Amino acid sequence: MHLLRTTSTSLLGATLIATAAAAQDQRLDRLDPSVRPLVASVIDSARAAGLPTEPLVQRALEGATKGAPGEVIVGAVQRLVADLGEARSALGPGTTPPELAAGAAALRAGAGPAVLAKLRRARSQTITVPLAVLADLVASGVPVDSAAAAVLALASTTRDADLVEFRRAVERDIALGAPPGMAVSTAASAAYGAQGLQLDAGARQSRPSRP
């Protein structure tokens, strides 16, 4: 009787594992057959750890569409899992998937986990945009410390749309020849002083916007 019960339990477990494997995301069929199980395994591990899997699927699909070698795709997905995990450790367990993805990008850009934690404490709303703006500023050449200080100063009181506008202003100034550090401090001062003058910023929502 005991043997029968043990066998039944084992069969049920094997069936569940097979079902989970069969339920693999159909979009991964675009990957090379030799790469697909490796990526699926990484994604399953991330899912088991409670991390969002959609950014991982998208990263793998990006690699497939761009014709990247299999090992590069697997490596990119693994690195993103590590970044997402580190972002969750810094931001806390209740962090939303968009926040985690933006946090991972900020970490990859060079921001430290302490900056992410400070941003979480500084702003009661979602911090997806502040994190993304931080990552984008660093990508534009702004030193990490300057970018982090500016975003932290603005995050608690500035709306998402104004943070994106702040980032655009910095990039515009850099394109015109301003040193990145000076561009970010100038734009931060302007954004901080202009907050009381935003009377009809919501009207921008109704028209298609540019990135």
The DSSP secondary-structure symbol of 46 reads H
Residues contacting residue 89 through CB under 8 Å, at least 6 positions apart = 113
- Residue 131: CB minimum distance to other proteins, A: 8
C-alpha dist (Å) from residue 59 to 72, 158, 191: 11, 31, 34
Tell me the residue length of the chain.
211
Extract the tokens encoding 13. 């477990």
Distances (CA, A) of 145 to 19, 116, 201, 209: 48, 12, 29, 29
Burial 172-186 (b: 16+ CB within 10 A, else e): ebbeeebebbebbbe
Site string for other proteins, 67-86 (x = CB under 8 A): -x---xx-xx--x-------
Q: Which of 45, 70, 160, 178 binds other proteins (CB under 8 A)?
A: 160
CA 183 to chain centre: 25
Angle, CA of 110, 113 and 114, to the nearest 5°: 115
Q: In the block, which residue shows the tokens 């990508």?
A: 139
Verify binding: residue 117, other proteins, rule CB under 8 A.
no
Task: Tell me if 93 contacts other proteins by CB under 8 A.
Answer: no
User: Is 169:150 a contact under the CB 8 Å cutoff?
Assistant: no
Nearer to other proteins, 2 or 210 (CB): 210
Question: Binding pattern to other proteins, positions 168-187, x when CB under 8 A?
Answer: ---x----------------
Looking at beta carbons only, is 8 or 125 nearer to other proteins? 125
124 binds other proteins (CB under 8 A): no
Binds other proteins (CB under 8 A): choice among 43, 51, 87, 136: 136
Q: Taking CB under 8 A as the criterion, which residues in 13-72 touch other proteins?
A: 27, 55, 57-58, 61-66, 68, 72
Supply the minimum distance, in Å, between the C-beta of residue 189 and other proteins: 21
Q: Which is nearer to other proteins, 9 or 96 (CB)?
A: 96
Is 209 a residue that touches other proteins (CB under 8 A)?
yes
Q: Given its phi and psi angles, is residue 50 left (phi above 0), alpha (psi -120 to 50 degrees) or beta? A: left
| Chain positions contacting other proteins, by CB under 8 A | 27, 55, 57-58, 61-66, 68, 72-73, 75-76, 79, 96, 98, 101-102, 105, 108-109, 125-126, 128-129, 131-133, 135-136, 138-140, 159-161, 163-164, 167, 171, 205, 207-211
